[in-house]
Structure 1
Amino acid sequence: MQLNKWVIEVKCIFVQELEVTPKIELVDWIQKLGLAGHFEKEIDEFLQNIFVSAQNFNKFSVQDNMHVSTLCFRLLRQHGYHVFPADILSNLFDVTDNSFSSDAKDITELLEATHLSLDGEKVLDDAKKFAINWLKDAVNNKQLIPKYVIERVVHALELPSHWRVPWFDVKWHVKQYQTKKHMDSVLLELSKLNFNITQAKLQKEVKELSRYQ
């Protein structure tokens, strides 16, 4: 079956890819594209390795990368790991500094991460206010931001990704993934096929249930 073949190919990426950044981004896209159920073991092992490594060396290897550090923080918290903002997001303490990132994608990921804040985490509360204001200004002023990035910004401002019903957002994320500069064609085709198969199953179940009404 083609779906199983593509699943195996994507699983190989987890083994072949040694860099942390591409793997973190891969995990994020797998979840957004509705494929997490096919890669639960790989995702759990990868996040566990990141967390354990950070505990052993008292530092996360992605701290110097704004986009990836916020993404890493969000994924770990979503999966139940007890990480603190200072563990990964040390650069957030300078969010009001003029030298802070002016990349819309970075600020969008920052906003997504801040929605996972806990009571008393002032640094995340401040970062959320900063991100919302920055992104609203960027959209209103139509700064030099590509259309597909503006779509992501508006999407994030409307509602955090982890508050949404994941399945209803898959088609939107597939469209976004197609705009990615270095997107993986196998992952893209797998997401489309998986969506069609799952959608067909759901429609069949609804049809069968309607018979009993």
Structure 2
Amino acid sequence: MKLAGVTFISYSSVHTAAFSKRPPIGISVREAYSWKKNNKLSCTRFGTSLFMSTKCQSTSSSPLSIDDSTKLETQGHYSLLKSMLLHQGMVSDYDNNDQVTKSTSEELFKKVQMALKEPCDRSTKMRLIDTIQRLGVGHRFEEEIKLILQGLAEFNSGEVNLFDTGLRFRLLRHNGLPTSSDFFDKFINENGEIKDVSSQDTWGILSMYEASYLATNSEESLLKAMEFTRSHLKNSMPSTPPELQNQIGKALELPRHLRMAPLEARNYIDEYSQELNHYPALLVLGLVSIS
């Protein structure tokens, strides 16, 4: 995305950018120091990670400050928000910023709330909750999400595939609800190795990898599975599609539940907007939240 002569680098470009001359953002501490040493770039510490001081790179010779780049990124998100609202006829072209956010927020909230309450299969419901929380608007649906997750915690049968098993485990543990790692037993052996690794269910293996970080010290097979899935994901990256490569790269750098929520929301909003089956009301609500 370009705006006023500025090229934005989204979080999804972290691992592809590592192979170009342009320094990536959101890289790990070790990688940041390596970039700094090899390219003589300055880095600033933010939280537990290092972020390049040039979050977006100007096409001119003068680098932008962090404040300037953040303003431009926000303007870019707002432009996307306004375009979507105009397309859906929710605002007019003459509405100001406050009118856009205030007049539509409640309407969008009700639409997403209805989606959470509509009957559907567990897999669809879990993915919706995961998306809501990644977009940073989970606090607005605490009661609805809690009710759904409590139902999942009380459901004693396992899921039919590895992806949903990992997602269910991660959602319940991350939100403080009880669940057992025994549901993984039909997918992994006592050494943490996936029984049917030849199935090439890379999305499922990725889901289990992220779930394994929420295992307790007593869940040895799941802890062993962390090492097995990490190795498998690293080896599978060259042969996976770009979208999946991006997801794997980010997970290997930092599992999803450990990422800073505001930063994850800003990074994920662009990624979610590109998904063909995204829920428009939820996307716009996420944009309203960060804009």
Q: 1:71 to 1:98 in 2, by over 3 A?
A: closer
SS at match of 1:176: helix
Counterpart in the other structure of 2:224: 126
Q: 1:116 to 1:183 in 2, by over 3 A?
A: same
Counterpart in the other structure of 1:156: 251
Counterpart in the other structure of 1:104: 202
Q: Does structure 2 retain, via aligned residues, the 8 Å contact 1:108–1:135?
A: yes
State how far apart, in whole Å, the 1-side matches of 2:273 and 2:172 are: 26
State how far apart, in whole Å, the 2-side matches of 1:183 and 1:126 are: 34
Q: 1:66 to 1:98 in 2, by over 3 A?
A: closer
SS at match of 1:73: helix
Q: Which moved more, 1:146-155 or 1:25-34?
A: 146-155
Q: Does structure 2 retain, via aligned residues, the 8 Å contact 1:148–1:176?
A: no
> What is the identity, as a one-letter code, of the residue corresponding to 2:172?
L
State how far apart, in whole Å, the 1-side matches of 2:198 and 2:214 are: 21
Per-residue deviation, 1:15? 1.8
Counterpart in the other structure of 1:34: 136
State how far apart, in whole Å, the 1-side matches of 2:174 and 2:233 are: 23
Counterpart in the other structure of 2:282: 187
State how far apart, in whole Å, the 2-side matches of 1:25 and 1:186 are: 15
CA-based RMSD of the aligned residues comes to 1.6
Count residues in correspondence. 186
Query: Which is helix-richer, 1 or 2?
Result: 1
Q: Which has the higher contact order (CA 8 A, sep 6+)?
A: 1
State how far apart, in whole Å, the 2-side matches of 1:50 and 1:84 are: 12
Unaligned 5+ runs, structure 2:
1-102
Question: Moved runs in structure 1, 4+ residues, more than 3 A?
Answer: 98-101
User: In the TM superposition, what are the counterparts of 1:1-213 in structure 2 within 5 Å?
Assistant: 1-52=103-154, 54=155, 58-60=156-158, 63-86=159-182, 88-94=183-189, 95-99=193-197, 101-139=199-237, 142-143=238-239, 145-196=240-291
Based on CA coordinates, which of the two structures has the bigger radius of gyration? Answer: 2
> What is the identity, as a one-letter code, of the residue corresponding to 2:254?
L
For residues 139-162 of structure 1, give each alpha carbon's deviation from its aligned partner in whole angstroms, at most 9, with x where no partner exists: 2xx10x221211111000001112
Per-residue deviation, 1:106? 1.6
| TM-score after normalising by structure 1 | 0.81
Per-residue deviation, 1:100? 5.2
Per-residue deviation, 1:98? 4.1
SS at match of 1:136: helix
Q: Does structure 2 retain, via aligned residues, the 8 Å contact 1:111–1:132?
A: yes
State how far apart, in whole Å, the 2-side matches of 1:146 and 1:175 are: 18
Q: Which moved more, 1:17-26 or 1:95-104?
A: 95-104
Q: Which moved more, 1:100-109 or 1:29-38?
A: 100-109
| TM-score after normalising by structure 2 | 0.61
Q: Does structure 2 retain, via aligned residues, the 8 Å contact 1:112–1:156?
A: yes
Per-residue deviation, 1:183? 1.3
Query: Which is strand-richer, 1 or 2?
Result: 2
Unaligned 5+ runs, structure 1:
197-213
For residues 2-58 of structure 1, give each alpha carbon's deviation from its aligned partner in whole angstroms, at most 9, with x where no partner exists: 011011001101222321111000000000000101110110000011212x2xxx3
> What is the identity, as a one-letter code, of the residue corresponding to 1:125?
L
Q: Which moved more, 1:73-82 or 1:168-177?
A: 168-177
